[in-house]
């Protein structure tokens, strides 16, 4: 399963054997490159120390080297095929996985692939100006690594659209380059992908909380009966772990630096000393966590019930679940709002699958909080960061329209509006964060508001020349 880099589009799907498909993708390629030039990273660079996939196997799948970003070899890489693979859930459980799209599920599958595909370029658009304010060459390199891989994730979905969805698929592939993050006329599909990522605190929060939604959604699509989708997602998940590493360790390092300056100056507010105040970090957590919760859809959803029954979207770790994997007779307890208060209700398990996935995600998010609180504890500080209640600041699902505080208390609209500035980043908080975002492009140097990483990339030291600027 090694990847052929002689081809115009690197791939491990024997693209040369299907001339029509190859030509179609080769004609999409210039549109992609045009999009990358106009909507991708704005900081001019000579080259960047990037990893490129060379193999999809467990060992040694990546090659590292300095490459000019516009010459990055975006390609189509699917995890190895298991010829024996059986469908693990839903009404087709036990049948062989599909190598083609069954007619009756075509539009649902296309919709899921388009939604997934739409998020990938959206994140590149959101992050395009961050190069101008990178805290170090190490961080700059990580930003660009994430960006090229999100570009590749777009390729992954476009390949499926072209290969399996005929003309509609090709049209959707074009449209993926026409919608843009934050656009008035043609925005990206999901809310979080139209928000700004104007500073590096937002970037690390995004890669911690929003890329983690990606992990969970890809995890459910990896279970799909549609085998090419499953194999695509399996490989994307390998790339995804680095994105979340960037977020986790980025916030580690910010909390570490803030804690250091709090102790040094014996103060609760290290803002005046060149740090991001802990209170601001908390507000950014509140924001990024809640917009990411929205990405899981409604607490009850007939869409997700249909996807599961059809076999096109499974549960997180489907095969480790100890039930019948059909769920026709099972029930689940999900959130609801009753008399204006947070409550719960028992529903058929199939309808509650968005809630099931969201619960897995929430448990995973809590690990980050534990880490960051350990950093505070180790610094001898009593303050702690927390995850807000799931009813707080929601725009999707039963809590949309409810005014709940971060601890889940329902309050009036007026009270909420009077206090929102203590819960979510205000213009002043954002301006302070932005004022700290002065670029540091000197090898081995780091900005004032973040601690250096423990290790470099691929065994290189922190002061390695990860990026050559023009
Ligand atoms: N914003 O029935 P419901 C990633 C719509 S991130 C706007 O509950 P469903 C990445 C919904 O479409 C992973 N609209 O929805 C991360 C529906 O509309 P219709 C991305 C929303 O289908 C970082 C209506 O509300 N992948 O990879 O059960 C960097 C009723 O909702 C939103 C996926 O999401 C929203 N947030 O669940 C780069 C996987 N939420 O039908 C990349 C594919 C819901 O009434 N998508 N709506 O017109 C899905 O699995 C599902 O479509 C969703 C929604 C989970 C998104
Ligand atoms: Fe991605
Ligand atoms: Fe990602």
pLDDT in tens, 347-395: 999 999 999 999 999 999 999 999 999 999 999 999 999 999 999 999 9
**What mean pLDDT do residues 66-76 have?**
94
Cα 265 to middle of ligand 2, angstroms: 40
Distance CA 469, CA 42 (A): 12
Tens of pLDDT, residues 18-43: 999 999 999 999 999 999 999 999 99
* Domain encompassing residue 299: 15-469
**Separation of alpha carbons 429 and 163, rounded Å:** 47
- Residue 4: the pLDDT is 80
Which CATH number is 319's domain given?
A: 1.10.620.20
- Per-chain mean pLDDT for the chain: 97
In a domain, 395, yes or no: yes
Ligand 1 and 425: CB distance under 6 A: no
Alpha carbon of 187 to ligand 1 centroid (Å): 14
Q: Is residue 297 part of a domain?
A: yes
| Residue 236 belongs to a domain | yes
Domain count, the chain: 1
> How confident is residue 1, by pLDDT bands cut at 50, 70 and 90?
low
Residue 313's CB is within 10 A of a number of other CB atoms, namely 27
Q: Whose CA is nearest to atom 7 of ligand 1?
A: 190
Where does the pLDDT of residue 298 fall: very low under 50, low under 70, confident under 90, or very high at 90 and above?
Answer: very high
Answer whether residue 6 is part of any domain: no
When pLDDT is averaged across residues 80-108 and rounded to a whole number, the result is 97
Buried b / exposed e along 432-443 (16+ C-beta atoms within 10 A): bbeebbebbeee
Considering the domain boundaries, does residue 342 fall inside one? Answer: yes
Residue 7 domain-assigned?
no
In this predicted structure, which of 46-60, 86-100, 269-283, 379-393 has the lowest mean pLDDT? 46-60
| Residue 298 located in a structural domain | yes
Domain contains 52: yes
Q: What is the pLDDT of residue 225?
A: 98
Ligand 1, residue 299: give the atom nearest the CA. 8
Asked if 468 and 47 count as a contact pair (C-beta separation under 8 A), the reply is yes
Evaluate the CA torsion angle 241, 242, 244, 245 in order and state its sign.
positive
The fraction of the chain above a pLDDT of 90, given in percent, is: 96
Name which residue sits closest to atom 44 of ligand 1, judged by CA.
Answer: 297
pLDDT digits (tens, 9 = 90+) for 202-232: 999 999 999 999 999 999 999 999 999 999 9
Ligand 1 contact, 303 CB (< 6 A): yes
Pocket flag, ligand 1, residue 187 (CB < 6 Å): no
Per residue in 142-163, pLDDT tens?
999 999 999 999 999 999 999 9
Of 222, 421, 463, 218, nearest in space to 319 by CA = 222
With a CB cutoff of 8 Å and minimum separation 6, the contacts of 73 are 5, 10, 52
Residue to substitute in 303, 309, 347 for testing ligand 1 pocket (most ligand atoms within 8 angstroms of CB): 303
Share of the chain above pLDDT 70, in %: 99
């Amino acid at each position: 399963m090694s990847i052929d880099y002689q081809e115009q589009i690197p791939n491990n799907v024997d693209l040369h054997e299907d001339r029509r498909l190859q030509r179609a993708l080769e004609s999409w390629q210039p549109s992609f490159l045009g999009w990358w030039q106009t909507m991708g990273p704005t900081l001019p660079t000579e080259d960047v120390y990037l990893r490129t996939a060379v193999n999809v196997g467990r060992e040694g799948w990546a090659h590292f080297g300095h490459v000019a970003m516009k010459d990055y070899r975006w390609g189509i890489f699917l995890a190895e095929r298991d010829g024996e693979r059986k469908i693990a859930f839903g009404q087709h459980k036990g049948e062989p996985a599909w190598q083609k799209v069954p007619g009756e599920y075509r539009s649902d599958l296309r919709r899921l692939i388009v939604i997934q595909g739409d998020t990938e370029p959206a994140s590149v658009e959101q992050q395009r100006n961050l190069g101008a304010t990178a805290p170090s060459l190490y961080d700059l390199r990580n930003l660009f690594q994430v960006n090229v891989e999100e570009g590749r994730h777009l390729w992954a979905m476009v390949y499926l659209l072209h290969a399996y969805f005929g003309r509609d698929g090709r049209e959707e592939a074009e449209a993926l380059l026409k919608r843009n993050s934050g656009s008035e006329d043609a925005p990206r599909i999901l809310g979080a992908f139209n928000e700004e990522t104007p500073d590096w605190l937002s970037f690390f929060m995004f890669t911690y909380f929003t890329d983690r939604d990606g992990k969970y959604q890809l995890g459910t699509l990896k279970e799909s009966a549609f085998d090419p989708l499953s194999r695509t997602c399996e490989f994307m998940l390998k790339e995804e772990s680095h994105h979340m590493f960037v977020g986790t360790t980025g916030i580690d390092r910010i909390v570490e630096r803030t804690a250091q300056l709090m102790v040094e100056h014996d103060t609760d507010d290290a803002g005046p000393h060149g740090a991001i105040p802990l209170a601001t970090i908390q507000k950014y957590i509140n924001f990024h966590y809640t917009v990411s919760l929205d990405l899981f859809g409604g607490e009850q959803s007939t869409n997700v019930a249909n996807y599961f029954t059809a076999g096109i979207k499974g549960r997180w770790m489907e095969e480790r679940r100890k039930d019948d994997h059909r769920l026709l007779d099972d029930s689940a307890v999900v959130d609801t709002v009753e008399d204006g208060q947070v409550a719960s209700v028992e529903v058929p398990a199939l309808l509650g699958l968005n809630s099931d996935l969201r619960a897995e995600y929430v448990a995973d998010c809590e690990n980050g909080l534990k880490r960051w609180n350990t950093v505070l504890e180790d610094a001898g500080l009593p303050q702690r960061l927390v995850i807000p209640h799931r009813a707080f600041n929601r725009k999707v699902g039963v809590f949309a329209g409810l005014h709940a505080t971060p601890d889940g208390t329902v309050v009036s609209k007026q009270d909420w509006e009077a206090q929102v500035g203590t819960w979510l980043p205000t213009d002043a908080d954002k301006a302070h964060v932005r004022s700290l975002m002065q670029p540091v492009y000197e090898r081995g140097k780091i900005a004032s508001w973040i601690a250096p990483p423990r290790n470099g990339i691929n065994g290189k030291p922190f002061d390695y020349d990860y990026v050559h600027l023009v």
